[in-house]
Amino acid sequence: MVALRLSPLALSRSRFALSPLAETLGAVLALSRPHPAAWFADWHARRLPAFTATLDADPFATGLLGLLGATTWLPRSVAIPPPNGLRTTLADELTAVRAVPDAVFRAELELSRAHPHPRYAADHRRHRDLTWLTGRDWGARTADLLHALWSAHLAPEWPRRRAHLERDIAHRAGLLATRGWPGALDQMSRHSTWEGPDAIRFGHRPGPDRVIGDAGLLLVPVSLATGTWLCEGPAGHYAQVYPARGAAPAHAVDGPGRALERLLGTGRATLLVTLRQPATSTELAARLGQSLGTVGGHLAVLRESGLVVGTRIGRRVVYRRTERGELLAADGEGPAPGAAAD
């Protein structure tokens, strides 16, 4: 089973990142496979006709995306570590995809052929012969295809998706600050475990261990995905993609329970319940239909009471509930909307 081994320096330099390319790959995997999870079935139904039309119009797209959806080995020519951390753009990543030589591109697809996904064996057999791999400049063609899929299916939703992913990062950063890496990795995926003093394991796939270089490991959340995959760059440079908690956030706001409302007041109780998913003050104001001043006042009281804490991510301050806030809010809310079982 593959383990990621980190030196103390690599561990101290590991950090979170965002990847529009990984988000695009997650959408491709979701649309390429039948029987979507119930929590994004509506999105799947809306997007599938346009996605199918893209495949019908291009044998290269049909073969490539079909293979990606039916393998347990995403080719390193598309599974690459995001180069600019939280500021990574799709253009940054597609530049690297375009630069992949044809010989390397084909060799990576051969590896994908050799690792069929047990759930999608029929699809894998249909695409594994690579007869669709004709012409040349496959890296550039793949970059154009991924850019088109991003524009059609993800770009309009990216601000909301990005906010959701940043909330997940804030949650993990809070766990990291209070419980260390073992706590941050807890339930990151179904199989994520911390082993010994220096190893992380994300699944049961056989293979050699990877040694993370001094730059550290990048941890990249994506939505619309239930699995994980490892992105590999130059020697020692790796990124681990993992599913963000739950679906993209719903717009509806649940009300607090009466006991919590009597204790904190309606405004502060509603805000605490809303912070079941970490958010910025601007996001809270938009979601609750309140002014920034009102939300800021409520946040100040909740922070002074030790019920919420703010974490700076780039230019944003993302607020989340503390352990005390989680315990207090537990009696004031029901199950999280759209929570996904991995």
For residue 68, give Cα distances in angstroms to 81, 164, 224, 266. Answer: 18, 25, 15, 49
Side chain identity at 21, as an amino acid letter?
Answer: L
Q: What local confidence, expressed as pLDDT, does residue 256 receive? A: 62
For residue 239, the surrounding DSSP H or E stretch is strand 238-243
Of all helices (H) and strands (E), which one includes residue 240?
strand 238-243
Looking at residue 2, what is its pLDDT? Answer: 81
Task: Output the CA–CA distances (angstroms, integers) from residue 34 to 28, 31, 58, 341, in the order listed.
Answer: 12, 8, 20, 17
Question: Which domains occur in the chain, in start order?
Answer: 4-15+160-243 (no CATH), 20-158 (no CATH), 258-332 (1.10.10.10)
pTM exceeds 0.75: no
pLDDT of residue 185: 79
Dist CA 24 CA 240 (whole Å) = 15
Report the b/e string of 115-124 with b at 16+ CB within 10 A: ebbeebeebb
pLDDT at 126: 66
pLDDT score for 74: 92
Instruction: Return the closest-CA partner of residue 97 out of 122, 74, 80.
Output: 80
What is the model's pLDDT at position 175? 82
pLDDT by 10-residue block (mean), the chain, 342 residues? 86 93 92 73 86 92 92 92 95 96 96 84 66 94 97 89 87 83 76 81 78 92 81 90 68 57 83 84 80 89 92 86 82 35 31
DSSP 150: I
Output phi, psi for 321, to 5 deg.
Answer: -75, 140
The owner of tokens 């561990």 is: 11
